[in-house]
Structure 1
Amino acid sequence: MEKVDENIEIAVLGGVGFNSYQEFESQPIHTPYGEVTAYLTTIKGKTIAVIPRHAGENHIPPHRINYRANIWAVHSVGAERVISTNSVGSMRGHPVGSFVVLDDFIDFTRNRPSTFYDDRTVHVDVSEPYCPEIRTALRAALEKQGLSYTEGIYACTEGPRFETRAEIRMMSQFADVVGMTGVPEVNLAKELSLCYASLAIITNQACGMTTQKLTADEVTDVVGKAQDAIFEIISDTIENIPKTRNCRCRFAKEGACL
């Protein structure tokens, strides 16, 4: 496992339209699953590694993202906390541009490597998938900024297509928002006993919720306009996260291995 020299405390995983990392110092991280480029900076006195999910010569589609390499890279640089940003569609009529602090998820993905343990049986605990300490810090940051937010359940689909009306009708019975990148990221973080939480931004109403056609352009447009707000939320969250972990995330793998 390759370690970098910096004392990195927190990693930020950015999604579509997340461009705040571009002026940061780049650091290649070699993992058993491939190379990842992290971008290092200091926020509120803490060293942060930003890992853009879709970075590459071309935009990497959600079903081809190397989730294992990204999460292993977080572990490699010594970070114990992960703040994820995710673009989502609303199945509950949330206003476009508002935020959701995720509290649970449902996995509808099919073809993604979802564990580090292909040759062992590891039943990792996801009874509390999103770190309560980071979630508390996210809520405090949103309230400080006076931004509208709710909490809710995330449904993750395989992509890269948008969902059908029938799929949204089904998923809306169980979840509040839908996206394509939150799983298996959250599971992999648990397998490495990391603290992980997600700030989701509503970029559109899910299929069938309006009469308008869904487009990728509206997703990038909404996130692009919210860049400054997202950066301020993340900055305040980083400042508010306790230095010492007191949550159960660090015990997620205890008793999980057969």
Structure 2
Amino acid sequence: MRDALCPEMRKTLLDTTRQQFDGRIFSRGVYAVTDGRHFESPAEVSMMRGHADIVGQSLCPEVYLAREIGACYAGLYFVVNYGEGVVKDWSHQDLHDIFYNDAPMISQIIIDTIRKLSAKGSCECRDLRKETLLKGIYNK
């Protein structure tokens, strides 16, 4: 997919994140999507090694659905574990602690990003929508 993420929203999100988070930030890479009902197995992690920079469960189908309606889309993805078999075992308490300790910061980044975005925008996201049999419905 060409320009999967809105360049304006992505830039604003990155700038806001850099202002509030002093950890390592990746601004580009290959994102492999897996089914969200479970964590990847060591075999799946091994298969994806060398083909993806990050593996997650929350980029698709959202990015496709946003494109279908001509909406801007960008995402903020925190690494919470390094994949099965990559580092020492982890517990659900470890993930719980990461989620709940970082939730206030993540929430603030999202709120501040939304405040900075223009309601009209000058991106081309709405024009990148693919032709559909429902185009008469969307163009009203």
TM-score, normalised with respect to structure 2: 0.82
Q: Does 1:194 align with 2:67?
A: no
Map 1:59-70; keep pairs closer than 5 Å.
Answer: none
- When you count helix as a share of all residues, which structure comes out higher? 2
Structure 2 residue identity aligned to 1:247: C
Matched residue, 2:116: 240
Residue identity (%): 34
Q: Structure 1 CA distance, aligned partners of 2:105 and 2:36?
A: 27
- Which of 139, 144, 150 is the equivalent residue of 2:26? 150
Supply the AA of the counterpart residue of 1:155: A
Distance 1:203 1:216 in 2: 11
Q: Deviations over 1:209-249 (max 9, x none)?
A: 11314x44432321110011112211221122133221121
Structure 2 residue ranges without an equivalent (≥5): 134-140
- Counting only pairs closer than 5 Å after superposition, residues 55-94 of structure 1 correspond to structure 2 as none
* Matched position secondary structure for 1:150: coil
Per-residue Cα deviation, 1:133-188 (whole angstroms, up to 9, x for no partner)? 11111111112114321123321111422112221122232222212232111111
Taking the TM superposition and a 5 Å limit, the aligned residue runs for 1:1-258 are 126-148=1-23, 149-151=25-27, 152-213=29-90, 215-254=91-130, 256-257=131-132
What is the aligned residue count?
131
Q: Distance in 2 between matches of 1:250 and 1:176?
A: 28
Which of 1 and 2 has higher RCO (CA within 8 Å, sep 6+)? 2
Unmatched tracts of structure 1, length 5 or more: 1-125
Q: 1:146, 1:230 → 2: CA distance? A: 9
Offset at residue 257 of structure 1 (A): 3.7
| Partner AA of 1:180 in structure 2 | Q
Task: Measure, in 1, the Cα distance between the counterparts of 2:44 and 2:68.
Answer: 29
Structure with greater strand percent: 1
- Give the counterpart letter for 2:108 in structure 1: E
Aligned to 1:23: none
